[in-house]
Structure 1
């Protein structure tokens, strides 16, 4: 059977080489780059990497690969965290980086049409003169196709929503090469199944996204970032819960516990923040509106022993603060440099957040491991970076056991094991516990669309 699979892959490679010439690569360094993501999943090389430049080429590639039952794994920027792009069955890594054009910016309708290789920073650079912005910010300069495929969110989600709320329409190539369009530029529709959102979060297991129509938002008149310290994580979380329940329109609310703050000071000593729990904040609106938001938040924080509130309105100061927050993973690893980070990604209803985090802290203490906490707590999402030395198998096993415990805690509160990183290989074993009978329906949908299981096989379902 394995011999037949290998022959099928080789036959596919011959046809793909005739189609793409030098844009089909089997160079060792290219294969290595496309055999891993940012996660702890063991790397595995694809058979080749294809670099399509148009939807039509993607369609031709899919027809060839379907004919030879050769797996296809879509690749964006390689920043996923659950092994989504690791080609566990070999096959073709479909690198979408050359499909990187902003096709339309419709200023009056507040939307844009982009190819999947466009990154979020690239799109916002293109939008700068229009007074508009794309708001989904997962930290990494991820590609639009990758963000849609993993249902990304990030620091702005509490106000502007996830990628799910910010995609209006898609162009998708199905496994047999058929090109379909889902959705439209209209802001709402009651016509038929919501196929757009079927492909968002599907992690490339149903088709290849080749075009996205995304929502844009006006750049706020005034932006102010801030930090606020708290004596305990519970006090910080209770402040967030009350702020959200009070209807405060925060743009960003990020929690960093005392262990994470210690790592931040290792990586960013210029911040000079005390090593106690902090909230990193951002307020958007008119000058008067931002001032009112700040006053309300400070009042809530003071009632929960918040102190050392420090504001930054200059762009360079705000950028420095959020650049540090986006490097939280590397700051955590700085506490134990030889370690790998096993990352959790739980999300629970906002009213359950404090209790869930309390039980999480108890589990960390029992484990004896270093596990800094950081999270987009404004929408109930928090992460641990559980540190383990890869040279010590028992330590890595303990890190994975702790991650499993935290996932079960989140599910017990009616939450999810993944608020934004996706399923990939790392979270697949929790899907039945989270979804029950609905997981079987996901399998049936996968079989109906991809009967030969060539689309990112082994992931999600």
Structure 2
């Protein structure tokens, strides 16, 4: 049975007439547009439409609204919590062909782009302007996808997250209307902040079709460091001390000993296989030199060894590439296994305690769950390596993730610092949001009364039953 046979025949005919071979229903391409980088079961859409402009997205959404067919936006396919799955079937709107850089306003330090533009491509395009887009989630995600999930990454400690980077956006709403949430002014007090409402909504309120994002000046000098510590707690406390001292880290990443071992093997490095911090400062040559010395003093007070600084671009690139290749490096610890990536975020003062407890819990469950984190903002990740066909291992992993989410919430943290909610974290939203969840549901119901926009995500199942 073809995927399209589950859709209304007149609806399918209209899509074929309007989009020809840009409407696809093959099993392989539908599966590709389901959840591709997560442990959650793949739930493919019934069809995929490759949109090329805002008018086409509005056309697709309008048709889906009339037919009561779910709509799921698709960017690079790198989300981790099942945001791309289609639990009720429907149409995946692939935005990768909407990849034009529409305007660069160098004097105002902003640019206007379509949602399919990737982070690396934008920075390549900007290089000669002396500007760059600083957010770096690791994966070469699309900016539309990054906005939809309120992404951040290694540089969030200095440059913030996507909620700070997006000045305004254009979006197609569930009824097919196209709205613009603001303009290029650096700030506004005009009405509700619809930009931030849509940033992080994971496609449940509308589909982002254009973004105006802030840019930054490429720093004159960049200094990167690595230093090893006896324990994760020592490394975490060094970060806390540095932040309390007011050091403006551009990046500050923690890798536990198991992760360092994996990185050494995968990236052919020779780092001491103990907990490791990777730090980076941006500024003038004098500034980064001074900050490097200050952090070195703080790190040594907390037992740091093998402290090594570099301003060499190739060496910095090598270190950060090793960090960004962590997923594949950790999988190499157990060839043939799969990885479940999860994240939480806690107040900085609870970071060392939370990471220590997470490591102990994984050990008690006999799970291989190396830790790495954007510790400058209290966010860390576990990559649980397991055989997904082993029921005992799968049950242990689910138990661990649930326990970790509850631990973070008990420390006044959040169940997700940057992966988003999707399907994987939605069962924890009651605990995290409390009565505010009813307000979120009311907003969803008012904007999307037919519940066609990426259903089955963010809000718990009880709200789905009410729609």
TM-score, normalised to structure 2, is: 0.96
Which residue number in structure 2 is paired with residue 154 of structure 1? Answer: 153
CA distance, structure 1, for counterparts of residue 400 and residue 135 of structure 2: 30
Q: CA deviation at 1:192?
A: 0.4
Displacement after TM superposition at 1:362 (Å) = 2.2
Query: How far apart in 2 are the matches of 1:443 and 1:339?
Result: 38
Structure 1 stretch displaced more, 442-451 or 141-150: 442-451
Partner of 2:432: 434
Q: Render the CA deviation track for 1:196-215: whole Å, top value 9, x for unaligned.
A: 00001100000000000000
Aligned to 1:240: 239
Instruction: Give, in angstroms, the shift of residue 342 of structure 1.
Output: 2.0
Match of 1:402 in 2: 400
CA contact (8 A) 2:260 2:273 kept: yes
CA distance in 1, matches of 2:7, 2:323: 46
Instruction: Judge conservation of contact 2:339–2:384 (CA < 8 Å) in 1.
Output: yes
Q: Are residues 1:208 and 2:207 paired?
A: yes
2:223–2:289 contact (8 Å) kept in structure 1: no
Secondary structure of the residue aligned to 1:58 is helix
* RMSD over equivalenced CA pairs, Å: 1.2
SS at match of 2:97: coil
CA distance in structure 1 between the partners assigned to 2:128 and 2:414 by the alignment: 39
> Corresponding residue for 2:315?
317
The structural deviation recorded for 1:136 is 0.8
Structure 1 residues 425 and 226, CA gap change in structure 2 (3 angstroms): same
Which residue in 1 is equivalent to 2:465? none
For the residue of structure 2 that corresponds to 1:175, the secondary structure is: coil
TM-score norm. by structure 1 comes to: 0.97
**C-alpha contact (below 8 Å) 1:342/1:403 kept by paired residues:** no
Assess if the C-alpha contact under 8 Å between 2:7 and 2:46 holds in 1: no
**Residue 175 (structure 1) aligns with:** 174
- Which of 270, 282, 285 is equivalent to 1:284? 282
Matched residue SS, 2:169: strand
2:336 maps to 1:338: yes
Deviations 1:106-132 (A, max 9, x none): 001010000000000011011000000
Q: Contact between 2:341 and 2:384, CA under 8 Å: does it hold in 1?
A: yes
Aligned residues: 456
Shift of residue 263, structure 1, vs aligned partner? 1.1
User: Contact 2:235–2:302 (CA<8 Å) still a contact in 1?
Assistant: yes
Aligned to 1:256: 255
Alpha-carbon distance, 1:235 to partner: 0.4
The structure 2 residue matched to 1:420, chosen from 407, 418, 421, is 418
Where in structure 1 are there 5+ consecutive unaligned residues?
none
Deviation of the 1:37 alpha carbon: 2.4
Tell me the SS of whatever aligns to 1:262: helix
Q: Which residue of 2 aligns with 1:217?
A: 216
Maintained 8 Å contact 1:8/1:69: no
Structure-1 separation of matches of 2:248 and 2:21: 51
Structure-1 residue corresponding to 2:463? none
Task: Tell me the CA shift for residue 6 of structure 1.
Answer: 6.4
Which of 291, 294, 308 aligns to 1:293? It is 291
Query: For 1:370 and 1:409, how far apart are their aligned partners in 2?
Result: 19
Most deviating of 356-365 and 395-404: 356-365
